[in-house]
Structure 1
Amino acid sequence: MPAASTHFRYEELAGFITELIRRGTLVPGSRVPSLREISRQRRTSVTTALHAYRLLEDRGVIEARPQSGYYVAQASRDIRPPTTSRPPARSIDIAVPAVMLKLLEHAADPKLVPLGCAIPSPQLLASGRLDRCLARAARVNGAKLNIYTPPRGHLALRREIARRALRWGQALSPDDVLVTCGCTEALSLALRAVTKPGDTVAIESPTYFGLLQVLQSLGLKALELPTDARQGIAIDALRSACEARRIAACVLASSFSNPLGCTLAEARKLEVLALLARHRVPLIEDDIYGDIGFGATERPTPFMALDRHGITLHCSSFSKTLAPGYRVGWLAAGERFMPRVIEAKVASTLCSPVLPQLALAEFLSSGGYDHHLRRIRRVFQDTLHRMVRAIEESFPEGTRVTQPEGGFVLWVELPRPADTRQLFAQALERGICFAPGVVFSASGRHANCLRLSGGYGWSPRLDRGLRALGAMARSAD
C-alpha cells in the first residue's frame, strides 16, 4: 500500500526530517531547512510544512528559536535503550507474584492516571460505528443467531480474517482460522494443543504477564530467553536451549512486543523458524500488536507468512485495535495442529458469542477498519514520542527507555537499586497506575523496571501523572 494512503502529507514530511536526524544528516543543535526551503525541496505547501514542524516540536524533535528558525532539539541527556535481559538458563516453575493481582485490580480504574492497563481508550475506538453493526446484527438476525456456532466460529468473520491475511502474504482458508475469546484464549488453546503438564516452553524475557498466568494454569515450566529491546530474542540462546533439553513449544511476539516493543527483522524470523523446525519445536506466535506499526508499510510480516515448515500457530485479536470489550480473537493453524486446537476449544468454551463476530465481520468488510487503524497509529505514535520526552525530562539520571516503532507501551529501566514494587504502591496512593517490572518475569526479575501504557492518548492529565511518577522515582533514588 503506498505511503500516501496511510499518512497525511505533513506526517510524511515529519517522518522525512526525523529520518535525517536519525541518520546523522541533521545533528542536535543544527538548523533544519526553513519552511519555504523544505516546501520547495519536497514540493509541498508552506502550510503543510508548518504542520509538520509543529508536530515535530510537540514531539520534542525540533525547537523554534525566535527570529532564527527551527533547530534540531538538544537532548537534555542521552536516553539509551534498556539493557538486554539475562535470565537463568534453566526452566523454572511459575509463581505469579501477588502484585500482579493488585495491578489487574487497579489497571482499569478510571480514577487513576491510566499508565497501567495496555488497552486503548474507549474514546479512540470506533465504538459508535461498531455498535451500530452489532445493533443491526441483533435486530436482523438476533433470534436466528441466538445459538451456538461451530467451534471454529462464524464463517463470515473467519473469511474476513483470511482476507486480511493476504495483505501480509499469507494464504489462509477460513477453515484455517478458529475464533477465540481474545488472544489469551488463543495462546492457551495453542499451548494445550502442543504441550502437556510439566513441559518446558521457551519465552521472551520480559514477556506479557498474561502468558505467564496461562503457563502457570497449564502446569508448564518457563525457559526465559535473553531479549533485546531492538533485536528481540537472542537466537544463540534459543539454539543452545534446543540443543540442551526438550523444548515443547516456543512463544514469541513477532511485532511490537509487550512490553519491550521490539520487532524481529525478517531475516531473524527466518533464522528462528529454521532453528525451531530443525528441532521440531512448534512456534506459537503472539501478533496482537502487528496492525499498530508507525512505518510507511502496513505491518511487519508475521512468522506464519514466512513459515515453510508448518510449525506456526498464529494468535491475535481485535482487543488492542478495535474492541477490547468484545473479546474476539483468533488462532490460525494448519492441518497439523487444528484438530487438537478444536478439541481444546470444545473442552474450554465450546464456541464464542455469535453477535460480536457478525458485527466485526461487517465492520471489516466495509473498509472501516483500515481508516480506523490509520487514525490510532498516528495517536499512539505521537503519544509515545511525548511520553519519552517527559521521561527524559523528569525521571532519574541514567533511566533507560524503549522507543518502539509500533504498539503503545514503553519499557522503562530505572537505575539500580530502584524497586518498582514499592514505587507502584506509592503511585497508587497518588492516583497513578503503572505495571511494575516483576510481573513480566517468571523468575522475579526486572524489579527496577516498569511498563507504561500510552493507550489513552496524550493529555495534560497523563503529562502530570508521568512527571509526578518521575519525581517519585527520583526521590527514591
Structure 2
Amino acid sequence: MDQRTPDLPLYEALAGRVVALVDDGVLRVGMRAPSVRAFAAQHGVSLTTALQAYRLLEDRGVLAARPKSGFYVTSRTHTRRPPPAASQPPQRATQVSVSNPVFSVLAYATDPSYAPLGCAVPSAGLLAAERLDRHLARCARVHGRNYNVYADPHGDAELRGQISERALRLGHAVPPDGVLISNGCTEALNIALSVTTKPGDTVAIESPTYFGLLQVLEAHGLRALELPTDPTSGIDVAALDKALGARRVAACLLASSFSNPLGYRTDDARKAAITKVLTRHGVPLIEDDIYGDISFGADRPRPFAAISPKADIILCSSFSKTIAPGYRIGWLAANRRHDQILAAKFALSLSGAALPQKAMADFLTSGGYDAHLRRIRKLFADNIDRMRRTVDRSFPRDTRMTDPRGGFVLWLELPHGFDADALYARAIRERICFVPGSLFTASGGYRNCLRLSCSHDWSARIERSVERLGELADELLQ
C-alpha cells in the first residue's frame, strides 16, 4: 500500500499522519503511541519503514522512546500559528505603576461567575488539596498544641529538609539550614529585593513579565529595566550585557523556566551565559522558580542556582502552583546573604504558620508528590493543547501564539493596532475574564496582546468562551 505523498519519502508521509493525530487531539501528550509493529501492520509497511517514521518523529520532538515501554507523545499541537515576535522594550528604566488596573482585573478573575481565563491559579480539583488537608487535620488532632506557637523564623526543619533533598536531585546542593520558608513566593521575592535593592534602584526584568512581579517592584519604589525577550528561548544575553554596561542595575529578576506569560524554557547554556554576564557586572540574580516543577518534557529544568552554584543568586519558589495555593508555603535559598535574608524575614512577618508547614512536610515525606506532578503535568499539557487548538480555529488569521514548554498560560499577539483592552471590556460584559497584555509591562506596550490561563479543568464553557473571544477579536479588527 503506497501512502506516499508527492516529493515525500514514505516514512516521512507516515510521520505526517501521526502529527495529524496529535494535532486533532486523538493522540495527546503522555499517551503511548501504537507499537512499531502495530503501526507497520496498520499501514502495510515494513518494520524498518515504521521505525524510520518513529525515529523522525523522535528527532522532531513529537515522540520520545522509553526503554522497554515504547514511544510516547511529548509534543503538543503543531498549529499554523507562528510564535509572537521577540520583544523590543524601551531601553530605559521605567517607574512602575500597575496596581490599580491589576486589582480591577483580579476582582473579575477570582469571581466564579466569569469564565476562568484570567487568574494563573490552578483549580483546587487539579491539585493535591484533599490529601494535604488530611495531613493538616491529623497534625491538628495529634500535635495541634505543639504547633499553636510562633514557628522558627527559618521554618519547619523537616520541610526544609524535604526541599533540600529535592534540590539536590537537580544538582543544587543547598543544606536544610540554607533554606528559609516564606509565606508564598511573593514574600520570598519581597525579601530578596529588600536585601539587594533600595527605593529608586533599577531592577532588570524580562519583557513581558508577570504583573505580580511589577506590583512587587512598585511596592519597593523600584524602577524596571525591561529586557528584550524571545518567546521561545528567553532573555537576549547580548542585550543584557549592553544594558548592564550602560547603567547601574541593583538586581536582575528572572523566571527560572516557563516564565509567566511566555512559557519558554531557557536552556542550561543560556542560563550559564546570563549568570556569567551578571557576575561580571556585579549584579545579583533573583530567580523565580515557581513553575519549574510543571515541565512537559522528560526532565525538570535546573534552576540558575544549580548551573552556577558560585554566582550571587537568590532562588525563590513555592508549592502554590503544584499543591496548595491557599497554604502560602514558599521558600528562599541563597549561597550568600543568608543572615540578611533571615533578618528581613523576621522583620517582615516573624515566621510562617507552623501547622500548615508541618502538614506540608508530612505530605512530602509520605511520598506521592512525584506521581502527583506527573499527573498534573499531563493535565496542564493537555489544557494547553486544547487551548491552542481552540485559538487556532477561532482567532483572527494573523494571531500569533506561544507554544509553552511548561506551566499553564498562553500568550497571544494580535496584529499591531489591535486593542486588547477594548476586547477585555467587551469580554467582561459577556462574563469572560482574561488578562490584557498591557498589564505585563511598565512601559506601556503589548496593547495588542493577551494572556489566557489554562489552569482549570477543560470544559465546554471554557471552549465556548475562547471561541467567543475569537469572534469578538474578529469584530474589533473589522
Would the TM-score normalized by the shorter structure come out above 0.5?
yes
Query: 2:155–2:181: 8 Å Cα contact kept in structure 1?
Result: yes
Query: 1:179–1:331: 8 Å Cα contact kept in structure 2?
Result: yes
One-letter amino acid matched to 1:315: C
**Which residue of structure 1 lines up, in the alignment, with residue 59 of structure 2?**
none
3-state DSSP of counterpart to 2:322: coil
Query: 2:79–2:389: 8 Å Cα contact kept in structure 1?
Result: no
**Which residue of structure 2 lines up, in the alignment, with residue 16 of structure 1?**
none
What is the alpha-carbon distance in structure 1 between the residues aligned to residue 461 and residue 250 of structure 2? 45
What is the alpha-carbon distance in structure 2 between the residues aligned to residue 30 and residue 257 of structure 1? 27
> Which residues in structure 2 correspond to 1:110-129 (within 5 Å)?
110-129=112-131
**Which residue of structure 2 lines up, in the alignment, with residue 39 of structure 1?**
35
> Which residues in structure 2 correspond to 1:299-318 (within 5 Å)?
299-318=300-319
Over 3 Å counting, the alpha-carbon distance change for 1:431 and 1:174 in structure 2 is same
Query: How far 1:344 moved relative to its partner?
Result: 1.2
User: 5+ unaligned residues in a row in structure 2: which ranges?
Assistant: 1-11, 28-32, 43-61, 63-76
Over 3 Å counting, the alpha-carbon distance change for 1:147 and 1:77 in structure 2 is closer
One-letter amino acid matched to 2:172: Q
Match 1:160 to one of 159, 162, 186: 162
1:101-151 CA distance string (max 9 Å, x none): 111111111111100010111111111110000001111111111111121
Query: 2:19–2:78: 8 Å Cα contact kept in structure 1?
Result: no
3-state DSSP of counterpart to 1:314: strand
3-state DSSP of counterpart to 1:26: helix
> Which residues in structure 2 correspond to 1:238-249 (within 5 Å)?
238-249=240-251
What is the alpha-carbon distance in structure 2 between the residues aligned to residue 168 and residue 421 of structure 1? 41
Establish whether residue 296 from structure 1 lines up as the match of residue 298 from structure 2: yes
**Which residue of structure 2 lines up, in the alignment, with residue 206 of structure 1?**
208
What is the alpha-carbon distance in structure 2 between the residues aligned to residue 185 and residue 191 of structure 1? 10
3-state DSSP of counterpart to 1:331: strand
> Which residues in structure 2 correspond to 1:231-270 (within 5 Å)?
231-270=233-272
1:315-371 CA distance string (max 9 Å, x none): 00111111001111111112x211111111111111110111111111111112111
One-letter amino acid matched to 1:325: G
What is the alpha-carbon distance in structure 2 between the residues aligned to residue 403 and residue 374 of structure 1? 20
1:40-68 CA distance string (max 9 Å, x none): 4489999xxxxxxxxxxxxxx9xxxxxxx
What is the alpha-carbon distance in structure 2 between the residues aligned to residue 419 and residue 181 of structure 1? 37
Cα RMSD (Å): 2.6
When the two structures are aligned, how many residues end up with a matched partner? Answer: 427
**Which residue of structure 1 lines up, in the alignment, with residue 228 of structure 2?**
226
Over 3 Å counting, the alpha-carbon distance change for 1:179 and 1:32 in structure 2 is closer
3-state DSSP of counterpart to 2:452: strand
What is the alpha-carbon distance in structure 2 between the residues aligned to residue 472 and residue 77 of structure 1? 21
What is the alpha-carbon distance in structure 2 between the residues aligned to residue 408 and residue 44 of structure 1? 36
What is the alpha-carbon distance in structure 1 between the residues aligned to residue 323 and residue 427 of structure 2? 29
Over 3 Å counting, the alpha-carbon distance change for 1:40 and 1:443 in structure 2 is closer
Query: How far 1:29 moved relative to its partner?
Result: 9.8
Query: 1:254–1:264: 8 Å Cα contact kept in structure 2?
Result: yes
**Which residue of structure 1 lines up, in the alignment, with residue 100 of structure 2?**
98
Over 3 Å counting, the alpha-carbon distance change for 1:180 and 1:456 in structure 2 is same
What is the alpha-carbon distance in structure 2 between the residues aligned to residue 322 and residue 44 of structure 1? 42
**Which residue of structure 2 lines up, in the alignment, with residue 399 of structure 1?**
399
**Which residue of structure 2 lines up, in the alignment, with residue 470 of structure 1?**
470
Query: How far 1:254 moved relative to its partner?
Result: 1.3
Query: How far 1:431 moved relative to its partner?
Result: 1.0
Over 3 Å counting, the alpha-carbon distance change for 1:274 and 1:42 in structure 2 is farther
Structure 1 moving runs of 4+ over 2 Å: 23-33, 37-46, 75-78
Query: How far 1:83 moved relative to its partner?
Result: 0.9
> Which residues in structure 2 correspond to 1:58-457 (within 5 Å)?
78-96=80-98, 98-297=100-299, 299-334=300-335, 336-457=336-457
Query: 1:76–1:393: 8 Å Cα contact kept in structure 2?
Result: no
What is the alpha-carbon distance in structure 2 between the residues aligned to residue 185 and residue 31 of structure 1? 45
1:215-244 CA distance string (max 9 Å, x none): 011111110001111010111110001111
What is the alpha-carbon distance in structure 2 between the residues aligned to residue 31 and residue 216 of structure 1? 46
One-letter amino acid matched to 1:236: A
Query: How far 1:247 moved relative to its partner?
Result: 1.0
What is the alpha-carbon distance in structure 1 between the residues aligned to residue 78 and residue 104 of structure 2? 35
**Which moved further from structure 2: 151-160 or 75-84?**
75-84
Query: How far 1:99 moved relative to its partner?
Result: 2.5
3-state DSSP of counterpart to 2:146: coil
What is the alpha-carbon distance in structure 2 between the residues aligned to residue 180 and residue 313 of structure 1? 13
What is the alpha-carbon distance in structure 2 between the residues aligned to residue 76 and residue 160 of structure 1? 38
Over 3 Å counting, the alpha-carbon distance change for 1:127 and 1:338 in structure 2 is same
Query: How far 1:296 moved relative to its partner?
Result: 1.4
What is the alpha-carbon distance in structure 2 between the residues aligned to residue 473 and residue 327 of structure 1? 37
Over 3 Å counting, the alpha-carbon distance change for 1:30 and 1:104 in structure 2 is closer
Query: How far 1:405 moved relative to its partner?
Result: 1.2
One-letter amino acid matched to 1:94: V
- Percent identity over paired residues: 53
3-state DSSP of counterpart to 1:215: helix
3-state DSSP of counterpart to 2:199: coil
One-letter amino acid matched to 1:433: C
Query: 1:76–1:392: 8 Å Cα contact kept in structure 2?
Result: no
User: 5+ unaligned residues in a row in structure 1: which ranges?
Assistant: 1-22, 47-60, 62-74
1:160-214 CA distance string (max 9 Å, x none): 1001101111111111111111111111100101111111100000001111011
One-letter amino acid matched to 2:225: L
What is the alpha-carbon distance in structure 2 between the residues aligned to residue 271 and residue 311 of structure 1? 14
Query: 1:39–1:45: 8 Å Cα contact kept in structure 2?
Result: no
Query: 1:204–1:226: 8 Å Cα contact kept in structure 2?
Result: yes
Query: 1:121–1:455: 8 Å Cα contact kept in structure 2?
Result: yes
3-state DSSP of counterpart to 2:473: helix
Match 1:26 to one of 1, 15, 39: 15
Over 3 Å counting, the alpha-carbon distance change for 1:24 and 1:416 in structure 2 is farther
TM-score, with length taken from structure 1:
0.85
3-state DSSP of counterpart to 2:242: helix
What is the alpha-carbon distance in structure 1 between the residues aligned to residue 19 and residue 454 of structure 2? 30
What is the alpha-carbon distance in structure 1 between the residues aligned to residue 13 and residue 242 of structure 2? 37
